[in-house]
Amino acid sequence: MKPIVALSRSFLILLNATGFALLCTEASTGQDADGRPAPSVEQVKFFESKIRPVLIQECYGCHSSKTGNAKGGLRLDNEQLMHLGGSSGPAVVPGNVDESLIYNAISYQDFEMPPKKRLSDTIVEDFRKWIEMGAPDPRKTEIAQLRSQISAEDIAQAKREFWAYQKPVMPAIPTIDDESWPRRELDRFVLAGLENAQLSPVADAESSQVLRRLCYDLIGLPPSREQLERFVRAWQKDPDHAVATMVDELLESPQYGERWGRHWLDLARYAESNGREVNMTNPHAWRYRDYVIDSFNVDKPYDRFVQEQIAGDLLPAKNDAQWAQNLIATSFLALGPKSLSERNGAQFAADLADEQLDTTTRVMLGTSVACARCHDHKFEPIPQADYYALAGIFASTETYYGVPASQFGNMGGVQNRNKSNLLRLPIEDPNPFDKTFTSEELEQLTAQMNQARQEIVESRRASSGVGKNSANAKLQIQNVVRIQARMAAISSQLGGVDAQGKPISYCMGVQDRAEPRDARMLVRGEIDQPAQMVPRDFPQVLRDSPVDIAPGSSGRRELANWIASQDNPLTARVMVNRIWQHLLGAGLVASTEDFGSTGQAPSHPELLDYLALKFVDSGWSIKSMIREICTSRTYRLSSAYDLEKFEQDPENRLLWRGTTRQLDAEAIRDSILFVAGRLDLQRPRASEVAKAGYMQVRDGSLINITQLTAFSTDDNGRRDAIREIIQQRAAENSTTIGDRPNDRRRRSRDNLRGMAAGLLNGNSEYTDMVHATYRSVYLPIVRDELPRALDVFDFAEPSMVVGQRETSSTPNQALFMLNNEFVIINSEALAKRVAEATSSPTQRLEQLFQLTYGRSPTTAERSAVRKFVLDFDAHSAAREPPLSTMIALSQALIAAAEFRVID
């Protein structure tokens, strides 16, 4: 045996040398799919002999596709997935032992793998060497090569034939029979369509109806008595001039931006909290709200408005103030809901990019590119590759949406596995509710943190050595969670100030990553099934040639320029359509977020193109377009019903009459305050969410108990502090508890939150904001916890892109009008306002109708009111009804349908 073994050994040495030499020749000149040098022979040998056996034996059981396990989202059975890592991050970073979590785990540092038995030092050392040499790994994933079913010819054909993918062309102004009817050129398009269908428009609406329409459409408020009288007089002389003058007046009003800014906030899914399972507040989101309102008020060109929100951080700025506004604008990309408890970091990042991509393309281009995340778009010529081409731009962007870090790190909440920092503004404009701390207070908070850390250590020590399911262990876990929540609140306070205790100014927003990169396609959108890389680009059907992205940049600047370009076939059309929809009740393209083949075709395609080009020519001025539409004949058509016309065009697509519309939630609430004489037109600074600070919202409460009791050193101190807060709030709010179910009184007195919530006597801490008198656009918008006054009247779902709100008529709305404290308070104020103005019952009735409906009561209504008064209160037989009857009457007028309808 010995000679044969010896001979074999020599032969093998010779053969190995030859073979390895050949391998070296092949391997050392090659590169892998990611462009890295292919491993050398020695490196492969090292891997095969030292690393792979260990992985197979110790790791694959829980981290490989063969066993179907991927604990912690981690797979270790191929190179790409080891680099991708799991929920904690990449398992291997070639050349970097410190960043390679697999080394951390097998050396039993912060992780301990394998869990049952530590590997020997020699093996751990082998892994270290392997990582340092670049982690050579011949286990290349069979990268799927996804092929699209959508060919270049399909895309080219769609560009040639489908209307939305062709640039707008100025149409010829149509000839019409009735030249006396139009007031604007757009009227000629409308009339031409009606005449072609042998229809004619109805008469104009009454002057009071036109004014009411203009006021609600432009500023979201009813006309004042003075405005009504002035307008009616002017209308009698010259209706066109009256309308034009009033439009100009309303467009100059600051309330215009609040009204039209809110339309944009619906699209931008604006909210002041994250929503979903971890509903953390965003105390700096209000800056974006104010940015949008101000942008509309100054009539910022729409192309610029778009560019700022996509790439404001990259735009030149003439000074720090402008730079700050540009940064705040990028909150548009940071506002979306996120799965903060997602364990897999790669999944979270992919979902974030997807949300940003979807919002941007649907809002600004009316195109659902995100439908191509998992497969080719089913209906549009958008291959899956195009989705990932665009996703690469967003994946190369760092998004900041969380809480400022303190010297203790970034603590974003106990369940928050995807924490984030905030952008520091280059100007001093802190959140007005951020406290300035003295040095003693800073020391106290720091001491609180250190004490809390010690408490956690002690809790963990107390819970160890006993069964994990024991009552003591569970109590200690709860204790740890509570302490961590407290630490997160204190850390957010410390992070909000500088070393001198002065508040720092922050905003949400984005920045380019240090190393932008293309995205890899994913089979069926699955994060662990990578396919080929795709260069960053725009959807082919929407652009003429591949985009040229500047080196080292994400491509967002290029994306912003492309969307805002007048050569983009969709941008102007989509925005003009939205403006039309808000003024006329429905867009020329009814599907405002879908200009694709499954959306609605435009009812007036030439008119759409005409308006789009006019919009661009005006310098992308939204006010100009609003003026154009509001001064048209089409806008002031009556909503009168006509059977013959209705039978021919029941949906009014040809615009033969005006559309009766229900007021939206903000207009209803603002109108109630307006008629009661309690509406405060002053913009409040920041928001209630900013006041509450960083916290997790539950049960509609914005009381940040942890923050309010931060200086209490123990539970007794915290209870005393809460008692004081409750007494103070109770003194501020003497009204009864609102209509929200209140079973919190039944909670244990040991539950600090329950005690606080249960003993509250007012609703000001709840997101309902019953006592707030500012405009509804400034109410706190907390996902899943909307103010009831908004929620019940079809407010836009703040987690979604909403171009057009739904309109419903439900018993809840009627019950709200009858029972809600907000309505009752303001009905009382309306009654008192009228009672103080005049003592005559007839005059009071007249005033009530003028204030609520802008008109005098009819004879039938006077009779009905007389009957109501007599029935409601026996004392009504007296000359002056008691106040309670007036209040009831006021409430009845507010609750009636006419109050909530634009005719």
Partner 1 sequence: MLRNLPILCALIACISFQSLAGAFPKDDDPPAKKRADVEARKRDRVAAPGERPKRAEGQNGAGDRQRGNRDPAKMASMMLQKFDKDGDEKLNVEELSAMMTFMQERREQLVGGAGPGNRPRPGANKSSDGKRVDDNEVGGVKPRRPPAE
Q: Which is nearer to partner 1, 7 or 156 (CB)?
A: 7
12 binds partner 1 (CB under 8 A): yes
350 binds partner 1 (CB under 8 A): yes
Q: Which is nearer to partner 1, 167 or 453 (CB)?
A: 453
Q: Pick from 19, 95, 432, 717: which binds partner 1 (CB under 8 A)?
A: 19
Query: Per the omega criterion (within 30 degrees of 0), is the bond before 114 cis?
Result: yes
Q: How far is the CB of 409 from partner 1 (least distance, A)?
A: 4
Q: Mask: binding to partner 1, 496-515, rule CB under 8 A, as x and -?
A: --x-----x-x--x-xxxxx
Q: How far is the CB of 81 from partner 1 (least distance, A)?
A: 13
Residue with tokens 């491509």, as numbered in its chain: 555
Q: How far is the CB of 810 from partner 1 (least distance, A)?
A: 43
In this chain, which stretch among 99-107, 163-171, 289-297, 841-849 interacts with partner 1, using CB under 8 A?
99-107
Residues 6+ apart with CB under 8 A from 486: 448, 452, 706, 710
The Cα 414–Cα 408 span in angstroms is 15
Task: Write the DSSP string, 288-304.
Answer: HHHHHHHHHHTT--HHH
343 binds partner 1 (CB under 8 A): no
345 binds partner 1 (CB under 8 A): yes
**Span 411-430, contacts to partner 1 by CB under 8 A:** 411, 419-424, 426
860 binds partner 1 (CB under 8 A): no
**Span 877-896, contacts to partner 1 by CB under 8 A:** none
Amino acid at 805: R
**Span 361-400, contacts to partner 1 by CB under 8 A:** 395, 398, 400
In this chain, which stretch among 300-308, 357-365, 456-464, 675-683 interacts with partner 1, using CB under 8 A?
456-464
Decide: 286 and 540 in contact? Cβ < 8 Å: no
**Span 57-96, contacts to partner 1 by CB under 8 A:** 57-58, 83-85, 88-90, 93
626 binds partner 1 (CB under 8 A): no
Structure tokens at 9: 């050994």
Q: Which is nearer to partner 1, 96 or 624 (CB)?
A: 96
In this chain, which stretch among 110-118, 239-247, 796-804, 882-890 interacts with partner 1, using CB under 8 A?
110-118
End-to-end CA distance of the chain: 105
Residue 608 C-alpha from the chain's centroid? 28
Element (H, E) at 423: strand 423-424
531 binds partner 1 (CB under 8 A): no
Residues that contact partner 1, how many (by CB under 8 A): 98
Q: Which is nearer to partner 1, 22 or 896 (CB)?
A: 22
Per residue in 496-534, is it b (16+ CB within 10 Å) or e — as a string?
bbeeebebbbbbbbbbbeeebebbbbbeebebbbbbebb
Q: How far is the CB of 26 from partner 1 (least distance, A)?
A: 5
The Cα 264–Cα 293 span in angstroms is 9
Residue 333 C-alpha from the chain's centroid? 8
Per residue in 205-236, is it b (16+ CB within 10 Å) or e — as a string?
bebbbbbbbbbbbbbbbbbeeebbebbeebbe
Q: Pick from 237, 318, 746, 879: which binds partner 1 (CB under 8 A)?
A: 318
**Span 812-831, contacts to partner 1 by CB under 8 A:** none
Q: How far is the CB of 294 from partner 1 (least distance, A)?
A: 19
Q: Which DSSP symbol is given to 502?
A: P
Q: How far is the CB of 120 from partner 1 (least distance, A)?
A: 5
Q: Which is nearer to partner 1, 392 or 569 (CB)?
A: 392
465 binds partner 1 (CB under 8 A): yes
Q: How far is the CB of 144 from partner 1 (least distance, A)?
A: 19
Degrees, nearest 5: CA angle 419-424-427: 160
Q: Which is nearer to partner 1, 1 or 172 (CB)?
A: 1
Q: How far is the CB of 707 from partner 1 (least distance, A)?
A: 18
For residue 863, the tally of other CB atoms under 10 A from its CB is: 11
Q: Which is nearer to partner 1, 123 or 681 (CB)?
A: 123
456 binds partner 1 (CB under 8 A): yes
Q: Which is nearer to partner 1, 53 or 432 (CB)?
A: 53
Degrees, nearest 5: CA angle 282-285-288: 170
Q: Which is nearer to partner 1, 247 or 353 (CB)?
A: 353
In this chain, which stretch among 5-13, 361-369, 534-542, 733-741 interacts with partner 1, using CB under 8 A?
5-13
Question: Quick one: CA dihedral 604, 610, 613, 619, positive or negative?
Answer: negative
Q: How far is the CB of 346 from partner 1 (least distance, A)?
A: 4
Residue with tokens 């959508």, as numbered in its chain: 150
Residue 31 C-alpha from the chain's centroid? 43
Q: Which is nearer to partner 1, 11 or 641 (CB)?
A: 11
- Torsions phi, psi of 317, nearest 5? -135, 140
The Cα 658–Cα 847 span in angstroms is 28
590 binds partner 1 (CB under 8 A): no
Structure tokens at 832: 């008192």
For residue 115, the tally of other CB atoms under 10 A from its CB is: 9
Torsion of CA 381, 382, 385, 388, to 10 degrees: 170
Q: How far is the CB of 559 from partner 1 (least distance, A)?
A: 16
Residue with tokens 């409040």, as numbered in its chain: 684
Amino acid at 361: T
Q: Pick from 3, 31, 35, 121: which binds partner 1 (CB under 8 A)?
A: 121
The Cα 754–Cα 410 span in angstroms is 28
Q: Which is nearer to partner 1, 515 or 544 (CB)?
A: 515
Q: Which is nearer to partner 1, 200 or 561 (CB)?
A: 561
Q: How far is the CB of 27 from partner 1 (least distance, A)?
A: 9
Q: Which DSSP symbol is given to 518?
A: P
Q: Which is nearer to partner 1, 465 or 741 (CB)?
A: 465
